[in-house]
Amino acid sequence: MLPACPCTSCGEPLPVAPGATVLACESCGTELYGRPAARRLVDPDWTALAPKAKARYADDTPEAITVPDALVPFEIERATARRLLRERTRRRWFAPRAFRRVDESESFRAAYLPHWVWGAWTRSRYRAARGDFHWSRAGERTQGIRVRGVRWRPAAGTVDRTFADVVVPATVRLDARMLADLLRDWDLGAAAAFDPALLEGRWVQRYDLEPEVGLELAKARMAAEVEREVRALVGGDAQHVPVIETAYAGLGYRLVLLPVYLASYPHRGRRRMVAVHGETGRVVADRPWSGTKLGIAFMLATVVAGVILYSVM
């Protein structure tokens, strides 16, 4: 069974103290940083949102937490997920044995991972400067070195955007790169209304990031999209954008559970995770290397190279 609050490096349970801003793993020393709700700066847009219903439904906590609005059903059966995982890992000859046999791990399970999905209309007013490159000669002689300069001129305007589904993973139990990789394939349009009966036989994880933290991350993602559009509108060879003021309207969010098969294996003193996408069956995992197998391959290559050189001489 996956631990209720595991370390992202070794998988050991993390000690949790009320109000703590740092969770330190006693096994490997990894630290996770966060801000408790009591000390967090509250976004005015967050306080204007109506509270959601709470209930006890997650497998790793007895407390009442925000009830999911929807979940994306599994399209891949457990047996199929094991087969896909086996086909992917057994081909990695240079991987350690534990990775190549991870489909046989007792930790293999179907799980629902929580994600905050945000939507909003935004209006952003910006003040910027457009830079156009020009070239001149340094010195009086025509053969002088060419020097690039920039001519700046002011720019300002307004950008209106509609953000429908800004997805923020609400878990820290998988590596951020793995979560981002999984996120590419999930079809939120296939989400069904939340029904506890659909959770039967699945491990359901509670969210690690509170929704107000999800709003901060979602706004950061929206701001990056707005800035990219502003820079495109400003144009030129360079842009200086010191001010973007964004107002949000129609702000709303959903808690959506997304399907995945998870398994873990030991490698170099820590537990690593492997995931099978619950909709597409795509396997997401880092590629570990076995030092022993690499050493054997290197020695064989050295012997073969020596034989070839000896026969040529």
Task: Provide, rounded to the nearest whole percent, the portion of the chain with pLDDT above 70.
Answer: 69
At 216-230, the pLDDT tens digits run 999 999 999 999 999
* Residue of higher predicted confidence among 18 and 132: 132
Query: In a 3-state reduction of DSSP, which class is residue 246?
Result: strand
User: Per-residue confidence at 305, pLDDT binned at 50, 70, 90?
Assistant: low
At 255-270, the pLDDT tens digits run 999 999 988 776 566 6
206 contacts 114 by C-beta, under 8 angstroms? yes
Per domain, the residue ranges of the chain are 41-120+161-221+249-312
* Cα dist from 215 to 147, 173, 301, 311, whole Å: 46, 20, 54, 68
Q: What are phi and psi of 88, to 5 degrees?
A: -75, -45
Q: What is the largest CA-CA distance in the chain?
A: 83
At 106-136, the pLDDT tens digits run 778 899 999 999 999 999 999 999 999 988 8
At 44-102, the pLDDT tens digits run 899 889 899 999 999 888 889 999 999 999 999 988 988 887 887 665 544 555 556 66
Can you give the pLDDT at residue 178?
A: 85
Q: Cite the beta strand spans of 170-218 per DSSP E.
A: 192-193, 203-204
What are the tokens at 239? 């842009």
The CA distance from 191 to 257, in Å, is: 9
The CA distance from 300 to 145, in Å, is: 55
Nearest to 166 by CA among 123, 121, 112: 121
Specify the pTM.
0.75
Mean pLDDT of 279-292: 69
Compute the residue count for the chain. Answer: 313
What are the tokens at 165? 């589904």
At 32-46, the pLDDT tens digits run 544 444 445 678 899
Per-residue b or e along 144-161, where b marks 16 or more CB atoms closer than 10 Å to that residue's CB: eeeeeeeeeeebeeebee
Query: In a 3-state reduction of DSSP, which class is residue 14?
Result: coil
32 contacts 23 by C-beta, under 8 angstroms? yes
Q: What is the mean pLDDT of the chain?
A: 79
